[in-house]
Amino acid sequence: MDLSVVIPCYNEEESLSETCRRVKAACDSAPVDSYEIILINDGSKDGTFAIMEKLWAQDKGIVIVDLSRNYGHQIALTAGLFHARGEYIFILDADLQDPPELLTPMLERARAGVDVVYGQRQIRDGETLFKLGSAAAFYRILSWLSDIPIPENVGDFRLMSRRVLDQFLAMPEHQRFIRGMIAWIGFRQEAFPYKRDPRFAGSTKYPLHKLLQFALDAISGFSIKPLRISMVFAIFGTFLAFCLGLLAIWTYFGHRTVAGWASLACIITFFSSLQLICIGVIGEYIGRTYIEVKDRPLFIVKTLLREDGKAA
């Protein structure tokens, strides 16, 4: 198998048929002899799976991975990658913001020796100023905190080689930030600048609370700097407490004590806040360790539709 196209889907009934049509056209025109299109149903609540079944009945080159429930985008994408059998793996979402027609030029770069050709957004049409600003802030913060360089303005839209995928599948963590995991693997990786289109249909599947959780997974999964920052807070708090202690001694012996609850309340609140911040950061890492130690499967497949009936 030359190529696997992996497309995670959640409530994409409005765009799925058009996505498959464009992806199939892009694959037919690409310099590959064989390909498969893997559609992952991530517990959709609309008619997404029914459309997948119709598409599979019409074209047995399509593979359907129906998960037992909604696991989230990163786990759904992992499920699709687990079942990919191609020498090259092309990842994109079902909303058509990332043009499938870029497959051929990205494949040319891959065959020139690049292991990962990742799409880097130069223009993001159809996105609000808040989304653009928050995305820029996220990548800057992540770049500063991360122990490895993670490219800015890069999503999961990419083409990668089989050897990169094999290394990725050997990584067992549950709290996933796939673009960071692939950056961590290394090999030769190259940016492919492109213009990101507006959604073809439907609405974003990443509301604010999910974006915040995604950012938290990214930061805690690729850096221990927050733990080090909490130590800085602790050292700063200790130094300030020492200074306040000296001030208290000086005012006591200088007979300049002033009764008042405001300053005391501010001091107690300040130190309590520092303690809670430090405890919260440590708790996040302990929680991740707890999840990993349980070693539950990343996902459960309810239905697998493939022409030969075999998993990867």
What confidence score (pLDDT) does residue 297 get?
A: 86
Q: Could you tell me what percentage of the chain is helix, strand and coil, using 3-state DSSP and rounding each to the nearest 5? A: 50, 15, 30
**Residues contacting 76, CB < 8 A, separation 6+:** 8, 9, 10, 40, 42, 67, 299
What confidence score (pLDDT) does residue 212 get?
A: 64
User: Residue 241 CB: number of other CB atoms within 10 A?
Assistant: 13
**What is the side-by-side strand order in the sheet with 62-67?**
189-196, 116-124, 154-161, 88-91, 3-9, 35-41, 62-67, 301-305
In this structure, what DSSP letter does residue 227 have?
Answer: H
Please say whether the beta carbons of 52 and 39 come within 8 A.
yes
Measured CA to CA in angstroms, residue 157 lies from 154, 178, 182, 307 at distances of 8, 11, 12, 26
Residues paired with 189 in a beta bridge? 116
Phi, psi of 86 (to 5 degrees): -80, 160
**Residues contacting 188, CB < 8 A, separation 6+:** 113, 114, 115, 116
CATH fold of the domain at 3-203+297-305: Spore Coat Polysaccharide Biosynthesis Protein SpsA; Chain A (3.90.550)
Which of the residues in the chain have pLDDT under 70? Answer: 123-149, 198-228, 230-231, 233-234, 237-238, 241-242, 244-266, 269-270, 273, 290-291, 308-312
d(CA 256, CA 247): 11
Minimal CA–CA distance to 199: which of 131, 109, 270?
A: 131
Domain regions of the chain by residue span: 3-203+297-305, 225-294
The two tokens of residue 154 are 């890069």
Minimal CA–CA distance to 200: which of 43, 40, 7, 5?
A: 7
Phi, psi of 116 (to 5 degrees): -135, 120
d(CA 95, CA 196): 11
Give exposure, 262-296, as e/b (b: 16+ Cβ within 10 Å).
eeeeeeeeeeeebeeebeebeebeeebeeeeeeee
What confidence score (pLDDT) does residue 311 get?
A: 45
- One-letter identity of residue 85: R
d(CA 198, CA 200): 6
